[in-house]
Structure 1
């Protein structure tokens, strides 16, 4: 089976007042279609930097990244944006909803930009799927943190992405809401057969992925390749 994400000898170096700082050191990673992968590790280990490069939001100093067979190094910024729109979605710790748009409009936005037909009906269906059919016309500041993240999940899945990138998706939520969002994330991911790449400090959340890798001082180490089967509804 071909990899949907392939990373080869990836490095990232930045200049600081103390001299060059190497954040990533020769990363190799293959992710198969439909796989769920957790990237864990301490703060400052390079997890979010790696995610940003894989997601075509940042560029490496050396090495290559391919998404769905496309080498990112061969694309300009406009082509990278088109690839992200076509093949990927994101869920962030801070929700990243547009404050001036309603829940419905936030979910519709990426699908409209991608030229999807019947966007309003699809957005309503996705908000119903995440339990927010009664919040369609509420602005983000009228929603709880858990509700905002559920809107973000509906927004992420409406365009049926091949790859979903999630950066600490439960990090700003209390345990009860975090569990609900985690249950939804894995339920929707399994139903849609999306490839999930998840960055988290939460070991229980990471354990719900089929595979874990750990970042330590810019290097990647395999943790587990054995699936851990948790039933949707268990705390995660």
Structure 2
């Protein structure tokens, strides 16, 4: 509901002061596109596009200037500058998640939703991705909404809330 992917049965969700939950799907998508980016557990990279093209894709859809330069900058920031011509199948899970991070941050979002961003990674890659996520969050002032089952990752968050059997825990 926070991301406007679902609407509440009661109450209101606002994004940038606008009644997000009261908008139709197209209007929610447009507003979400201006303010939000996503990082998912399953990466959601386009298999037929290189790492560079995957990062460029949302920039080009948004009509951003210098999409290629921005994508290269963000791939370098996540340590993949030399892997920009590789397809997702040629990258490790950790590298694919770093491409997903670069893609999300290239949009310079005000709000980043990260759904289990380390859930499908081994501990070393998960720690590396988490460190990058918090570094990029801190360096760019992007608000981060992180969903995780990992208590160690949750402890890195400034504020955290726990859902227990579908209810917000006190």
TM-score, structure 2 normalization = 0.97
Match of 2:162 in 1: 214
Distance 1:101 1:57 in 2: 26
Which one of 161, 177, 188 corresponds to residue 136 of structure 2? 188
Deviations 1:7-27 (A, max 9, x none): xxxxxxxxxxxxxxxxxxxxx
Deviation at 1:67, TM superposition (A): 1.3
Distance 1:57 1:99 in 2: 24
Q: 1:88-107 alignment to 2 at 5 Å?
A: 88-107=36-55
Q: 1:166-205 alignment to 2 at 5 Å?
A: 166-205=114-153
Distance 1:166 1:84 in 2: 14
Deviations 1:23-55 (A, max 9, x none): xxxxxxxxxxxxxxxxxxxxxxxxxxxxxx111
Deviation at 1:210, TM superposition (A): 0.2
Match of 1:139 in 2: 87
Distance 1:215 1:178 in 2: 22
- Root-mean-square deviation (CA, aligned residues, Å) is 0.9
Are the equivalent residues in 1 in contact too, given 2:4–2:21 (CA < 8 A)? Answer: no
Are the equivalent residues in 2 in contact too, given 1:123–1:158 (CA < 8 A)? Answer: yes
Deviations 1:54-89 (A, max 9, x none): 111112222211112111232111111111110000
TM-score, structure 1 normalization = 0.70
Q: Which has the higher contact order (CA 8 A, sep 6+)?
A: 1
Deviation at 1:221, TM superposition (A): 2.7
Distance 2:21 2:41 in 1: 28
Q: Which runs of 5+ in 2 are unaligned?
A: none
Deviation at 1:217, TM superposition (A): 2.2
Q: Which has the larger radius of gyration?
A: 1
Between the two proteins, the alignment pairs up a number of residues equal to 170
Are the equivalent residues in 1 in contact too, given 2:12–2:22 (CA < 8 A)? Answer: no
Deviations 1:126-167 (A, max 9, x none): 000100011101110110000000000000000110100000
- When you count helix as a share of all residues, which structure comes out higher? 2
Deviation at 1:114, TM superposition (A): 1.3
Distance 1:69 1:142 in 2: 42
Q: Which runs of 5+ in 1 are unaligned?
A: 1-52, 223-236
